Chain A
């Protein structure tokens, strides 16, 4: 098991490298001139050349790439072009907000989704249609729109929850919870139906396997068969889907943090884009990739815990 994890971690190093390099070259090769973009149309040629020099755009691409990569390996992702702060410290202060949101949304989607999935696997019909309807709603309503709908109901009309803003946990746990509810629900909703469908389908699949027949023939109660035996085998693909829901919620933060004015990585990425702050947004790419890799490792650990056969291979 430990060896399997180490192997997975080792395999993710080149992945991280490739993703970072792709981002770097993508930014360099896209039609557009960063210095011109930042300065706007009214800048003088001198200003332009000075900025190009400052940004290092006059050096050859490979040299810039090498410098960026060595710095990155030393934990230095450069400085923000906009306010000259180190990218890593900007990102580190934003990380807790984003993690609160995404982890919260994933847990909510997993709990509701698995619950709904089990219920609809046991009793087809009504509940199945609820899940199907939820899936369509989750797909059809863009998360920024869904977030605004929730704001309009729960913040503007009912005045139950704050419309925007984030309260750090250390400042007020109650305020922290309240500030998270609406964005977390917004991020979780599309995932609920996805998890529910996967849970339902894989429980139905597992129920058809011969070992369930043996369990029933040996007199084990149906409750134990469903909740203990079938659920454990069925959980394996569900865990994969929960991993995907996490990644979905992570990309969702780009919009949802903007809707709720949350000071997280997603919102920061949007600001950085609007400010043409390339080092900052490249930093976000690195952080996002590392988070995704970490989640994939967690998914692997969960596999091993659920399915003993994985541990051996």
Chain B
């Protein structure tokens, strides 16, 4: 007997029409519902359907296999198995109904009250549920059957009561989430009585989980009922029951094994039917709560690169050269671009900033370079060259060796970037030993050296601690130490200071600068903080809606922006504002992937927008040796460039 405890994960829901519709699309569910309905009907009319009296013995014909007279054979007393199955379903279905009714009449109202009211009612009921769940249900029912022998109704009601806690928790959880919904609050404010709100407004929203839980409970109730019948604790010997038939079959298992089959199959099919209905309802509900997400994996498929700007820095081999990178989100209708024709390069010792509002595609660009895109995203074209070698067609295994040793990465949230369960020392030692042949003690010395290098005051102590024991700033230092362990040539830092206090921000930036000076590594610094750019970056790329819209040496960018978006960003930053001038803000937000216009993607927010800005894609045009911008009106707005 499985425990009743295991099923509690149900998503909240609302409405039902689309749930019903999506259930219809699953043929298995239709079959399952039909099966249960047929079972109920057959049990009701069993006296008219059954070819024999299920108690009629015929010893001369005992243990006969299936024949044309006895389609499912006869048992050890010569009784017709088919007739016994038909009659046996009556008791089982009645028992299921008793259990389900108890679970519904107690579990649903109590769950609604606990979830809707909260407070001490909730706590007291929760405790009670906990106690009831602590002991295997079957043993409680045995106590009952010892006092009230063969009383199956009492047994099933008890089983129902023991199933209440699970239903209670499901309904409580679901109504807890509904409680704060606007229309429920509105109903409360408009003075509707609490019971009325619960029945009229909360109950319909939690109906889905209730159905799921009730069907699954029905499956368990049948398992339970047949088990008791198998043990002979519920019915007297003559009454046909499915579980009792399995018990009788087990006594003659060496003479006629066939007898196990009919009751076993009908029990299994009935349980399966309930389980299929419950599972499908749950799936249909969770499909509605989460938007369908297409996922596709695999190596990026590469198309021939379009004409590009790769030749700009011809001559010297760049540490990193990205050309025409495109990242897409595959979905039902095709591919939604998320990052589009991004080209960038970083030289050894250089710091390049990647700037833009949230949602502009900076992080996706960084993850694509490292081949660490989430499974839903795919790099569809473009090339990535590391030290002059095209790595985009490199095998996963070969690329694995680049990570940590050539390319390293630190992320925005330092604490969640560290494994919570291992000590920081052991994480660091593992990374060190991945990149160099070192004995454990030697790797440990190197780990402590790295912790010292990132200016942590007490490396020994830090090595012994775990991520949750450190402050954000300290955790970020450890993350930097881990990134440096393989002596990388390029560090990609995704907003490394955003989650930190302002004073700590400056320290971390100073640390990165110092390390860069010492190791001459390249740094791709993703940020939306102009202060960071002014402080650290030699060159800066501005990203908007998946594209680079301006590229420039940082100082020139501040002095003479050549794209209206850059100008807007600069003007809305307090530190950059000119004294006396009003601080402006940009209206609206970055359009999300899938809703990008054909023309200039910034057009809807641009105060210089003109007719030529919309209608066709705007190319990134070179303004001077080191500057380019994606704006057709640059000259009109900002004047000619004086290179």
Q: Are A156 and B254 in contact (CB under 8 A)?
A: yes
A271 CB to nearest chain B CB (Å): 10
A–B complex contacts, Cβ < 8 Å, 7 sampled: A30-B144, A194-B6, A210-B417, A217-B370, A219-B486, A254-B138, A254-B227
Q: Which residues of A contact B463 (CB under 8 A)?
A: none
Closest to B136 in A: A251
State in angstroms the CA–CA spacing of A274 and B401 once bound together: 68
State in angstroms the CA–CA spacing of A289 and B137 once bound together: 11
State in angstroms the CA–CA spacing of A277 and B146 once bound together: 7
Q: Are B409 and A217 in contact (CB under 8 A)?
A: yes
Name, among A217, A248, A281, the residue most crowded by chain B CB atoms within 10 Å (CB to CB): A217
State in angstroms the CA–CA spacing of A288 and B138 once bound together: 11
Q: Which residues of A contact B482 (CB under 8 A)?
A: 214, 218
Q: Are A218 and B408 in contact (CB under 8 A)?
A: yes
Tell me if A95 counts as interface (CB < 8 A to partner B): no
Tell me if B148 counts as interface (CB < 8 A to partner A): yes
Known A31-B154, A136-B275, A218-B486; further 12 A-B contacts with Cβ < 8 A: A26-B143, A141-B264, A142-B267, A213-B417, A215-B419, A217-B372, A222-B400, A232-B421, A232-B422, A255-B1, A255-B231, A270-B231
Q: Given A270-B233, A308-B466 in contact, is the A229-B419 Cβ separation under 8 Å?
A: yes
Q: Given A141-B268, A273-B145 in contact, is the A15-B134 Cβ separation under 8 Å?
A: yes
Q: Which of A31, A140, A232, A259 contacts B148 (CB 8 A)?
A: A31
Tell me if B416 counts as interface (CB < 8 A to partner A): yes
B200 CB to nearest chain A CB (Å): 36
State in angstroms the CA–CA spacing of A258 and B142 once bound together: 14
Closest to A194 in B: B6
Tell me if A97 counts as interface (CB < 8 A to partner B): no
A-B contact count (CB 8 A): 249
Q: Are B146 and A281 in contact (CB under 8 A)?
A: yes
Q: Are B227 and A23 in contact (CB under 8 A)?
A: no
Q: Given A26-B143, A219-B435, A219-B486 in contact, is the A149-B135 Cβ separation under 8 Å?
A: no
Closest to A214 in B: B417
Q: Are A32 and B147 in contact (CB under 8 A)?
A: yes
Tell me if A121 counts as interface (CB < 8 A to partner B): no
Tell me if A143 counts as interface (CB < 8 A to partner B): yes
Chain B 212-229 interface 0/1 with A at a Cβ cutoff of 8 Å (1 = within): 000000010001001100
State in angstroms the CA–CA spacing of A216 and B371 once bound together: 10
State in angstroms the CA–CA spacing of A51 and B602 once bound together: 93
Q: Are A285 and B422 in contact (CB under 8 A)?
A: no
State in angstroms the CA–CA spacing of A151 and B135 once bound together: 29
Tell me if A122 counts as interface (CB < 8 A to partner B): no
Q: Which of B131, B136, B151, B253 contacts A148 (CB 8 A)?
A: B253
Q: Given A224-B430, A248-B6, A255-B1 in contact, is the A37-B147 Cβ separation under 8 Å?
A: yes
Q: Which residues of A contact B410 (CB under 8 A)?
A: 214
Tell me if A238 counts as interface (CB < 8 A to partner B): no
Q: Are B6 and A218 in contact (CB under 8 A)?
A: no
State in angstroms the CA–CA spacing of A221 and B485 once bound together: 15
State in angstroms the CA–CA spacing of A190 and B219 once bound together: 14
Q: Which residues of B contact A254 (CB under 8 A)?
A: 1, 136, 138-139, 142, 227, 231
Q: Which residues of A contact B403 (CB under 8 A)?
A: 216-219
255-311 of chain A: CB within 8 A of chain B: 255, 258-259, 269-270, 272-274, 276-278, 281-282, 284-285, 288-289, 292-293, 306-309
Closest to A146 in B: B264
Q: Given A37-B149, A142-B223, A259-B250 in contact, is the A149-B264 Cβ separation under 8 Å?
A: yes
B278 CB to nearest chain A CB (Å): 10
State in angstroms the CA–CA spacing of A218 and B481 once bound together: 10
Q: Are A211 and B416 in contact (CB under 8 A)?
A: yes
Q: Which residues of A contact B135 (CB under 8 A)?
A: 19, 285, 288-289, 292
B506 CB to nearest chain A CB (Å): 23
State in angstroms the CA–CA spacing of A27 and B142 once bound together: 10
Chain B 256-288 interface 0/1 with A at a Cβ cutoff of 8 Å (1 = within): 010010001001110110010000000000000
State in angstroms the CA–CA spacing of A144 and B222 once bound together: 13
Q: Are A145 and B264 in contact (CB under 8 A)?
A: yes
State in angstroms the CA–CA spacing of A253 and B421 once bound together: 36
Tell me if A161 counts as interface (CB < 8 A to partner B): no
Q: Are B421 and A27 in contact (CB under 8 A)?
A: no
B548 CB to nearest chain A CB (Å): 23
Chain B 28-66 interface 0/1 with A at a Cβ cutoff of 8 Å (1 = within): 000000000000000000000000000000000000000
State in angstroms the CA–CA spacing of A194 and B7 once bound together: 10
Q: Are B1 and A282 in contact (CB under 8 A)?
A: no
State in angstroms the CA–CA spacing of A67 and B344 once bound together: 84
B499 CB to nearest chain A CB (Å): 11
Q: Which 6 A-B pairs have the closest CB atoms?
A: A219-B404, A251-B136, A217-B409, A32-B148, A248-B3, A214-B417
Q: Are A144 and B230 in contact (CB under 8 A)?
A: yes
Q: Are A144 and B134 in contact (CB under 8 A)?
A: no
Q: Are A219 and B146 in contact (CB under 8 A)?
A: no
Tell me if A244 counts as interface (CB < 8 A to partner B): yes
Q: Which residues of A contact B151 (CB under 8 A)?
A: 31-32
Q: Are A211 and B419 in contact (CB under 8 A)?
A: yes
Chain B 126-160 interface 0/1 with A at a Cβ cutoff of 8 Å (1 = within): 00001100111111101111111101001000100
Q: Which residues of A contact B253 (CB under 8 A)?
A: 148, 151-152, 156
B125 CB to nearest chain A CB (Å): 14
State in angstroms the CA–CA spacing of A145 and B138 once bound together: 17
Tell me if A209 counts as interface (CB < 8 A to partner B): yes
Q: Which residues of B contact A277 (CB under 8 A)?
A: 146
Q: Which residues of B contact A18 (CB under 8 A)?
A: 131
Tell me if B605 counts as interface (CB < 8 A to partner A): no
Q: Which of B154, B272, B400 contacts A219 (CB 8 A)?
A: B400
Q: Are A214 and B418 in contact (CB under 8 A)?
A: yes
Q: Given A248-B3, A274-B233 in contact, is the A139-B485 Cβ separation under 8 Å?
A: no
Q: Given A144-B246, A148-B253 in contact, is the A19-B131 Cβ separation under 8 Å?
A: yes
Tell me if B201 counts as interface (CB < 8 A to partner A): no
Q: Which of A145, A216, A219, A308 contacts B246 (CB 8 A)?
A: A145
Chain A 208-251 interface 0/1 with B at a Cβ cutoff of 8 Å (1 = within): 11110111111111101000010011000000010010011011
Q: Are B3 and A251 in contact (CB under 8 A)?
A: yes
Tell me if A34 counts as interface (CB < 8 A to partner B): yes
State in angstroms the CA–CA spacing of A31 and B268 once bound together: 33
A172 CB to nearest chain B CB (Å): 25
State in angstroms the CA–CA spacing of A143 and B267 once bound together: 12
Q: Are B416 and A273 in contact (CB under 8 A)?
A: no
Q: Which residues of A contact B467 (CB under 8 A)?
A: 211
Q: Are A218 and B144 in contact (CB under 8 A)?
A: no
Q: Given A34-B147, A219-B401, A276-B147 in contact, is the A145-B267 Cβ separation under 8 Å?
A: yes
State in angstroms the CA–CA spacing of A179 and B417 once bound together: 50
Closest to A219 in B: B404
Q: Which residues of B contact A270 (CB under 8 A)?
A: 142, 231, 233
Q: Are B136 and A288 in contact (CB under 8 A)?
A: yes
Q: Are B140 and A26 in contact (CB under 8 A)?
A: yes
Q: Are A217 and B404 in contact (CB under 8 A)?
A: yes
Tell me if A252 counts as interface (CB < 8 A to partner B): yes
Q: Which residues of B contact A141 (CB under 8 A)?
A: 264, 268
State in angstroms the CA–CA spacing of A247 and B6 once bound together: 10
377-431 of chain B: CB within 8 A of chain A: 400-405, 407-411, 413, 416-422, 430-431
Q: Which residues of A contact B250 (CB under 8 A)?
A: 148, 151, 259
Q: Given A148-B249, A217-B372, A308-B420 in contact, is the A281-B142 Cβ separation under 8 Å?
A: yes
Closest to A16 in B: B134
Q: Given A31-B148, A270-B233, A288-B139 in contact, is the A152-B5 Cβ separation under 8 Å?
A: no
Q: Which residues of B contact A248 (CB under 8 A)?
A: 1-3, 5-6
Q: Which residues of B contact A241 (CB under 8 A)?
A: 6
State in angstroms the CA–CA spacing of A15 and B431 once bound together: 47
Chain A 186-214 interface 0/1 with B at a Cβ cutoff of 8 Å (1 = within): 00001000100000000000001111011
Q: Are A214 and B409 in contact (CB under 8 A)?
A: yes
Q: Are B140 and A23 in contact (CB under 8 A)?
A: yes
Chain B 457-489 interface 0/1 with A at a Cβ cutoff of 8 Å (1 = within): 000000000111000000000010011011000
A227 CB to nearest chain B CB (Å): 12
State in angstroms the CA–CA spacing of A298 and B366 once bound together: 44
